[in-house]
Amino acid sequence: MKQIRSSNLGNTLTRAIYLLLIVGLAYILVGCTPWRDQFLGESVNRATANDVASKLGAPAFSHRLDTGEEVWTYRYDSVNDCLEYIVRFDSGKILRDWSRDVYRGFLCHRLVCPTTSRRAGTCS
Cα–Cα separations (whole angstroms), residue 99 to 8, 74, 95, 123, 124 = 50, 10, 12, 26, 28
Q: Model-level pTM?
A: 0.62
Tell me: do 2 and 38 sit in the same domain.
Answer: no
- Decide if pLDDT at 7 tops 90: no
Weakest mean pLDDT among 22-26, 38-42, 91-95, 106-110: 22-26
Q: What is the pLDDT of residue 103?
A: 83
Same domain? For 49 and 73 the reply is yes
pLDDT at 116: 40
Q: Are residues 75 and 58 in the same domain?
A: yes
What whole-number distance in Å separates Cα of residue 117 and Cα of residue 96? 32
Q: Are 27 and 42 within one domain?
A: no
Residue 12 and residue 106: Cα distance in Å, rounded?
53
pLDDT in tens, 80-123: 788 899 999 999 999 999 999 988 866 665 555 544 433 434 34
